[in-house]
Structure 1
Amino acid sequence: MKTINYLKGDATNPRIKGNKIIIHICNDIGGWGKGFVMAISKRWKKPENEYRKWFQSGENFNLGEIQMVQVEEDVWICNMIGQHKTVTNSKGIAPIRYEAVEKCLNKLIDEALQLNASVHMPRIGCGLARGKWEEIEPIIETTLLKNNVEVYVYDFE
């Protein structure tokens, strides 16, 4: 089985040859304006515009759904709805929804294999969504890696 390639650098600027999908976690309330999405929006306007259109349409805008947005000839952004709202609730439950992340990654497998693309990401779900990498990493292993998708995780320098 493949393993995660950990790199130092900017996940919005993968230096790997071939098709690339940059993935990140979005919330289910149409909010875009903090965290990794800011780095995406700085480089490309389309992922945010498409996410907002998707939210407004209400069509299949649910936890566990993904949206693929092509931004360059060999680069796609995958907006993954894996976060419920934006704050930890009164019961102390963080916004991250691990089951939804797993659903998203399972949908991403087909996209990655069809495009023959590698997948690039920051430590998804571990910033504003307040998830734990030790929960996310095994989900990546049982979905993407198990299906032979090349995965790169970036830690910003």
Structure 2
Amino acid sequence: MPEITYVRGDATAPQGKGVKLVAHVCNDLGGWGKGFVLALSRRWPEPEAAYRRWHRERADNDFGLGAVQFVQVQPHLWVANMVGQRGMRTGSKGVPVRYEAIDTALGAVADRAEELGASVHMPRIGCGLAGGRWSRIEPLVEQRLSRRGIPVTVYDIG
């Protein structure tokens, strides 16, 4: 089983050869304006535009916790918009991160990565503004991706 590779760097500039899938967590409110999504939008306009359209048309699609939208940004590069947080603020129900939704979304990412023959690249998803703990998310990444033989690289800005 391949281990998760940890590197210092920028997940919007994924390292290595072949097809790559950059996975990150979005909220379920249609908001895109803080955290890792800003770095994504600086590099490519398509993920934000696709996410906003997906949210706007949610009555007619699968938008919601656990859903994933795959957006191609270059011939061998995709972005996975994973809906893994409820709302944007810590409140009476705790932090916005939803581990079950991230788990479900990672399963869909694994399926697409296998179809594409892609490696998966991500920041420490769900651990920034979403308020999650990597100690809870890392086992989900290992179970859903690494155990299926999908190479995963996690980027820490350094």
Same fold? TM cut 0.5: yes
Aligned residue for 1:51? 51
Written as runs of structure 1 = structure 2, the 5 A alignment for 1:27-38 is 27-38=27-38
Aligned residue for 1:2? 2
Relative to the length of structure 2, the TM-score reads: 0.97
* 1:79-119 CA-partner distances (Å, limit 9, x unpaired): 0000000011224x110000000000011111000100000
Q: Residue type of the partner of 2:71? A: V
Aligned residue for 1:128? 129
Q: Distance in 1 between matches of 2:89 and 2:53?
A: 23
Q: Distance in 2 between matches of 1:57 and 1:100?
A: 20
Which SS does the other structure have where 2:150 is aligned? coil
Name the Cα RMSD after superposition.
0.6
Q: Distance in 2 between matches of 1:149 and 1:132?
A: 22
- Does residue 78 of structure 1 match 2:69? no
Q: Distance in 1 between matches of 2:142 and 2:154?
A: 12
Aligned residue for 2:89? 87
Q: Residue type of the partner of 1:2? A: P
Q: Distance in 2 between matches of 1:9 and 1:142?
A: 24
Aligned residue for 2:147? 146
In the alignment, structure 1 segments of 5+ residues that lack a partner are none
Which SS does the other structure have where 1:136 is aligned? helix
Which stretches of structure 1, 4 residues or longer, exceed 4 Å deviation after superposition? none
Q: Residue type of the partner of 1:66? A: V
Q: Residue type of the partner of 2:34? A: K
Which SS does the other structure have where 2:62 is aligned? coil
Q: Work out the percentage of aligned pairs sharing the same amino acid.
A: 51
Q: Distance in 1 between matches of 2:149 and 2:57?
A: 34
Which SS does the other structure have where 1:69 is aligned? strand
* 1:53-91 CA-partner distances (Å, limit 9, x unpaired): 000001211100000000001100000000000011224
The Cα shift of 1:2 comes to 1.2
